Amino acid sequence: MNGATTDPPSQCHDCPRRCGADRRAGRSGFCRLGDETPIAWAGLHFGEEPPISGTNGSGTIFFAGCNLRCVYCQNHAISTPLSFRPFREVTPEELASEMLRLQDEGAHNINFVSPSHVVFRMARAVETARRRGLTIPVVYNSNGYDSPETLRTIRGLVDIYLPDIKYMDDSIALRFSRAVGYTDMIGAVLAEMLDQVGHLETDERGIAVRGLLVRHLVLPGQVENSRKCLRVVAALSPRTSVSILSQYSPRHRACSFPPLDRPITDREYDAVLEEALDLGLENAFVQELDSRENYLPDFTRENPFDAGAAAARRSFPPRSPTGRGSS
Ligand code: SF4
């Protein structure tokens, strides 16, 4: 690790938006967060990819807020400050205690969801938790809109990177997520992550211990974007583990935002899987299309993943992207 305990500069350049907001003084940028670290939910999650959830569950900590504004956000109840449900603000010490509690409950890992806008607070808490006895892997589960420079600063603290690659088309990155420069930086972000942790490694039980697993959500009407995204992953290395998600279902503003106002079709998903196969991406995780509702959290419930958690486990044919198994 390389200085995560040092306070970041007061002008926030933590993510590619580089707002320059003085967050330590309580001012906020695009993510609308000042100096706070809000947690929306923390608990055992059984619906991630099998090497992440395993049998005991992934110790998942959802941060509130986000540095993107996806019109289809499935976590919009917690990602958009204007609609935040009540969340808990924590100090690094309290966040470390939360990690240790999840470890005591048997979690295979600590899975930080949407950490990009609170990355230094997360880093400080991980250092504290390690000093206090945290031994399980730390997962950085982000939307991919990260800064390579910031990631270099937390080198050594993250064991498993679980980023999205959402777009390789700037016009839809802007239109769907208000993301400027996403396609320019995602390759460098993935390369930095791979350099830090290498390819995905699992233990004898098939539980991830280290490495990179890239996620891609197939969007309706955007097969060409998906193909381009997979090409970036394959260019990194065909050995890169990739999770190709079919779970898209219109949510939030997408319900009235064509072409995002419908689920994807079998034909679209199969076309993307074919591309993965053609590219030699053999370490691929796929999903059943008919189980898409099982993957969607409901943050109005005490446990957003109560319903269908077991059914939400993904098919896992690592050597055959087109061979969707049954879960
Ligand atoms: S983390 Fe927030 S304030 Fe900082 S650059 Fe990103 S969006 Fe702006």
pLDDT digits (tens, 9 = 90+) for 25-60: 888 899 988 888 999 999 999 999 999 999 999 999
Helix 223-236 and helix 182-197, axial crossing angle in degrees, nearest 10: 40
Domain count, the chain: 1
Task: Specify if 175 maps to a domain.
Answer: yes
Q: Which long-range contacts link 251-258 to residues 24+ away (Cβ below 8 Å)? A: 251/72, 251/73, 251/74, 251/76, 251/296, 252/70, 252/71, 252/72, 252/73, 252/74, 252/76, 253/71, 253/72, 254/71, 254/72, 257/71, 257/72
Strand-pair partners of 43: 60
Q: What spacing in Å lies between the alpha carbon of 47 and ligand 1's midpoint?
A: 29
CA distances from 211 to 11, 72, 245, 300, 304 (A): 31, 28, 19, 33, 27
Q: Ligand 1 pocket check: which of 10, 11, 14 to mutate, most ligand atoms within 8 Å of Cβ?
A: 14
Residue written as tokens 């993943």?
A: 305
Task: Specify if 194 maps to a domain.
Answer: yes
pLDDT at 82: 53
Q: Mean pLDDT over all residues of the chain? A: 88
Decide if 76 contacts 251 (C-beta within 8 A): yes
Task: Specify if 19 maps to a domain.
Answer: no
d(CA 228, CA 241): 16
pLDDT band at 253 (very low <50, low <70, confident <90, very high): confident
Task: Specify if 121 maps to a domain.
Answer: yes
pLDDT band at 307 (very low <50, low <70, confident <90, very high): very low
Provide φ and ψ at 241, rounded to 5°.
-75, 135
H or E element that contains 126: helix 119-131
Peptide bond into 8 cis (omega under 30): no
Task: Specify if 314 maps to a domain.
Answer: no
pLDDT at 8: 62
Displacement of CA 99 from its chain's centroid (Å): 18
Does the Cβ of 137 fall within 6 Å of ligand 1?
no
Does the Cβ of 228 fall within 6 Å of ligand 1?
no
Task: Specify if 244 maps to a domain.
Answer: yes
d(CA 100, CA 89): 17
Does the Cβ of 21 fall within 6 Å of ligand 1?
yes
Other Cβ atoms within 10 Å of 302 Cβ, number: 8
Q: Which of 156-170, 238-252, 297-311 has the highest mean pLDDT?
A: 156-170
Residues 6+ apart with CB under 8 A from 135: 103
Which is it for the CA torsion 2, 235, 179, 210, positive or negative?
negative
Q: What spacing in Å lies between the alpha carbon of 290 and ligand 1's midpoint?
A: 37
What's the whole-model pTM score?
A: 0.91
pLDDT band at 81 (very low <50, low <70, confident <90, very high): low
Task: Specify if 81 maps to a domain.
Answer: yes
Does the Cβ of 12 fall within 6 Å of ligand 1?
yes
The C-alpha R_g of the chain, in whole angstroms, comes to: 18
Q: What spacing in Å lies between the alpha carbon of 146 and ligand 1's midpoint?
A: 10
pLDDT at 7: 60
Q: Whose CA is closest to atom 6 on ligand 1?
A: 15
What CATH code is carried by the domain that includes residue 40?
3.20.20.70
Structural domain boundaries enclosing 94: 29-295
Task: Specify if 86 maps to a domain.
Answer: yes
The residue-averaged pLDDT of 199-212 equals 97
Classify residue 208 by its DSSP letter.
E
Residues 6+ apart with CB under 8 A from 86: none
